[in-house]
Structure 1
Amino acid sequence: QPNAMGGREVGGLANMLACHLDLENAEHRAAVREFWQCGPLPDAPGLKAVDMFNAVGDGRIKALWIIHTNPAVSMPEANKVRKAIDACDFVVVSDITAQTDTARLSDVLLPATAWSEKGGTVTNSDRTISRQRAVFAAPGQSKDDWLILAEVGRRMGWPDAFDYENPAEIFREHATLSGIAANFGKDFDISGLSDISNPDYDLLAPTRWPISQTRKGGRFFADGAYFHADGKAKMLPVLARSPVEEIGNEYPFRLNTGRIRDQWHT
């Protein structure tokens, strides 16, 4: 998947903080608050995707900012999701085209750069961080995602917190926070790159974390220990649950949207 591992590393889920820190851990929240000099952080997980759009549909969520995804098509019960987005009071979409089903439902469309037009990093499933470099200039009024988010943050009243000038600056901040996470025993640690220069960031070769003064790459769990207090793996027994709707004479086929190598989601 494009950058699922990298998304988790920066806290791109409703139930975690950046650098694999735990949202429900008071010490972790305090460390993040001190690092970013921000206000109180939630102490309980937010809504995951399906629940979130249910909340949009029943009016609990009144504003959405959808970035580079097309939930009006890709979510389960897409018709229900599409209706919820259409009824939402305020919908912003950042994307490379105005022609997706979701973009057509937006109140504000922010033109964003595509993968070949922006720089940054992605992380694959074996923890290898790779630099992504632009091949083409940004077309028209399109902007990189980090620049769009930073500009909105500044306009909302936090000019100093979002005064980034380039992706390397954001990467250094992220690497510094990972060192704090490592002090809590977290596995994600790229603090060895916290002072990387802009030129060195541009030239950064694929590298596998952890990257710190004491650890570098390697294979996790080779020592037989796992990331639990007792160091042991946890095997969870689960029971298969059949679909609610079964195949029968009236409906003899089961359809699955599926995924192929060169096409994910929509």
Structure 2
Amino acid sequence: YCSAPPVSAEVTFVPFPWYKAFHRSQHSFDIGDHPVKPVHSLLKIAVAWTQLSAGTSVSFLEDVDTPLPHLEVKWLPSLRSYLKHIHGYFELDETFVQPLQRLDDSYIMDHIINSQRFSPSKLHLLNCCRKYLQVTTISDITLPDGIRLEPNFELGNHSPTSPKCGLHWFYQERPPDDAWKLWQRANCLWSDEHGTLTTPLGAWLFPPSQQRMKWPFYYDSVTDSLYAHDEGSNYRSYFVNPNRQTQTPINSFVLDSLPDTASPVTVSQIQDRWQHDQAILPILQQPPLQ
């Protein structure tokens, strides 16, 4: 919905059907009422991808005052500039803002933008790093213990031990080395020189099936089982002994889905077995409303 009143017809850079809607007699409109449904769908797709590119905690059409020079699309930022000009904004029924994943989680681009330490060109490079890693919030780049940054992501690398995003994402080539030096500077906004978060993360807000990132290992304290990613969406289950080590692989079996009580965990190799970290954070039964 548009919070601003209709305006004159002099403005020509707002694309159809937004431009047409500004000339209605009412002060609000629903973009879903366009008679051509494919137009409605394409608008929602465009807004969703632009919001994913923005990486912020508030819809880019609701907060029109915060500069977002890292957005690469043209016409939606043009609309955003127009809304700022008329002191208006949109309240969307679906904002496409990615949800926080853990208690005390926060948005990477919010930290970077609010720091005011980076020029528009550097913001663009940092966002390219973020899109290459396919991450949105601090929890996406943090180990399951909620304390330390994922070391491969710090260096701008994907690894078999790193989490993988389960969303459709942009195709982003790996930025140059200078961009990753900038990324490491940005990491200092939320962690110290050792990669320890200044604000540790708390419990998970969603079960594995609803989490944005897919981790190579999960642990379920209810069944005392460790789940290791196998192939596709399958996980292999291992029973864990009192020393937090897996039993022999002979006792393992494959699951096509994880139990809701399982949480991501970091493991280390000990001879022919895995041992998981002791810090296992639970999943909240009722995530707080955002």
TM-score, normalised to structure 2's length?
Answer: 0.24
TM-score, normalised to structure 1's length?
Answer: 0.25
> Which structure is larger by alpha-carbon Rg, 1 or 2?
2
